[in-house]
Structures are given as structure tokens and as C-alpha cells.
């Protein structure tokens, strides 16, 4: 290991990378940006995380470190909801958290693996088959990531504002429903979506 690497750890790199994320967003997060803040060469950072994908994976895993609540409800479906609530809040607590999760998710990382195991176990305890668990977990996780991504997007890009000028004459249904996709409705939409997905077992195609 060269002198440039002495004292530098992946943990330190991740701490600084989180600082870059909060100040510059995901678009500004790079090995070069982290190296600049640390005062080291880019290859010193790459020695620990290899590349941009490795950096995003490490930061995503750090973000997920406290995603499993210390206490969870006894009822398995309530556990699923509590885990999703924690997952959503974790994404919301970091700038571009949803985009980071989408790009940096990896079950090769310990905290993400731990969350996935607890989450899948809660779904399995509801009586779902392994196939149902896999597909329900996938649907719920992507629903939450997409919802938070919308929430973290610039206000002038939300569906409600983009479609606010819908002409009732040409888009009558859109005009009367779009008002419910407002910035104030994210929490309600989260609860509604989770309930809808969890209640949808009877319409699953061939889940066994």
C-alpha cells in the first residue's frame, strides 16, 4: 500500500462521500469529488472502493445501516409496513436518496442484505409462498423508491403541476383526478399503495 493510502479507510471514504451527496447531490458524487475533499489522489479512493459503482454501493449500504427498527410489531403484516416506513424515511433523509438506492443497491453489502432478509422473512410469515414473497417484495420496494424519487424531484416536475393545465374538454378524467397528486399527498399515497399491494394476493397470476 502506498503512503497515499496510509490511514485512509473505506469507512472514512463513505463518511466524506455522504457529505458530498448532501452538498452536491448524486450527480456531484464521484471518486474525484471524494478524493478532493480528502486531499488524496483518486487512485487512493479507488484502491478501497474500486470504481463509481463500488462507491455508490458502499454509500448505499451506509445509508441502510439503521433501516431495520430495533423493535418490530409481532404481527407479520404490521412488520412489513413498519419496515417499509423505515425504508421510506431512510431514503427521504438523504438528498437524492431514492436515486442512490436505485443505482447503488447490492445484496452483496451487509446492511442491504440484512434489511432484505428481515423484510422477506416478514412477508414469508404472512403465509406467502417464496414466489409471492419475491414478487411482493420487489413490487413494494420499487413502489417506495419511485414514490420517494418523485417526492425528491424538483417541484416543477411533479405530475400534478405538469398536468395542471389539462383541458377538461380533451382530458376530463385527468382534469378531475390530477389534483390528488400533490406534494402534500405523499404520505397518504404511501399508505394507500402499501395497503393496495399487500391486499392484492387474490389477483396475483399463478403465484405459488
**Mean of per-residue pLDDT scores for the chain:** 90
Which pLDDT score, from 0 to 100, does residue 163 have? 61
Q: Note the pLDDT tens digit of each residue in 78-98.
A: 999 999 999 999 999 999 999
The three cell numbers of residue 109 are 453489502
Distances (CA, A) of 6 to 2, 13, 33, 75: 7, 13, 19, 49
Alpha-helical regions (H) of the chain: 10-24, 31-38, 42-49, 52-63, 76-92, 97-104, 110-124, 130-152, 159-162, 172-177, 186-198
Quickly name the fold that domain 76-203 has.
Answer: Tetracycline Repressor; domain 2 (1.10.357)
The three cell numbers of residue 12 are 472514512
Cβ neighbour number for residue 67 with a 10 Å cutoff = 19
Eight-class DSSP state of 154: -
Q: Note the pLDDT tens digit of each residue in 131-176.
A: 999 999 999 999 999 999 999 986 666 665 566 666 788 888 887 8
Domain ranges of the chain: 3-50, 76-203
Cβ neighbour number for residue 165 with a 10 Å cutoff = 9
Which pLDDT score, from 0 to 100, does residue 175 have? 79
Sorted by sequence, the CB contacts under 8 Å of residue 141 that are 6+ apart come out as 87, 119
Question: What is the rounded average pLDDT of the residues 30-52?
Answer: 96
Q: Note the pLDDT tens digit of each residue in 44-66.
A: 999 999 999 999 999 999 999 99
Considering the segment(s) 3-50 as one domain, its CATH architecture is: Orthogonal Bundle (1.10)
Amino acid at each position: 500500500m502506498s503512503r497515499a493510502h496510509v490511514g485512509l479507510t473505506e469507512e472514512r471514504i463513505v463518511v466524506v462521500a455522504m457529505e458530498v451527496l448532501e452538498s452536491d447531490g448524486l450527480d456531484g458524487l464521484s471518486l474525484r469529488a471524494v478524493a478532493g475533499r480528502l486531499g488524496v489522489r483518486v487512485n487512493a479512493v479507488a484502491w478501497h472502493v474500486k470504481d463509481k459503482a463500488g462507491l455508490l454501493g458502499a454509500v448505499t449500504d451506509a445509508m441502510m445501516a439503521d433501516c431495520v427498527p430495533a423493535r418490530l410489531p409481532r404481527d407479520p403484516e404490521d412488520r412489513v409496513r413498519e419496515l417499509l416506513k423505515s425504508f421510506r424515511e431512510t431514503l427521504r433523509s438523504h438528498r437524492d436518496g431514492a436515486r442512490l438506492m436505485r443505482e447503488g443497491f447490492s445484496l452483496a453489502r451487509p446492511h442491504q442484505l440484512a434489511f432484505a432478509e428481515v423484510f422477506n422473512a416478514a412477508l414469508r410469515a404472512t403465509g406467502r409462498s417464496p414466489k409471492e414473497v419475491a414478487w411482493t417484495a420487489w413490487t413494494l420496494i420499487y413502489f417506495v423508491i419511485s414514490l420517494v424519487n418523485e417526492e425528491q424531484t424538483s417541484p416543477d416536475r411533479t405530475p400534478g403541476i405538469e398536468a395542471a393545465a389539462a383541458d377538461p374538454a380533451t382530458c376530463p378524467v385527468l382534469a378531475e383526478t390530477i389534483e390528488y397528486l400533490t406534494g402534500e399527498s405523499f404520505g397518504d399515497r404511501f399508505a394507500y399503495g402499501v395497503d393496495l399491494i399487500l391486499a392484492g394476493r387474490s389477483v396475483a397470476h399463478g403465484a405459488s
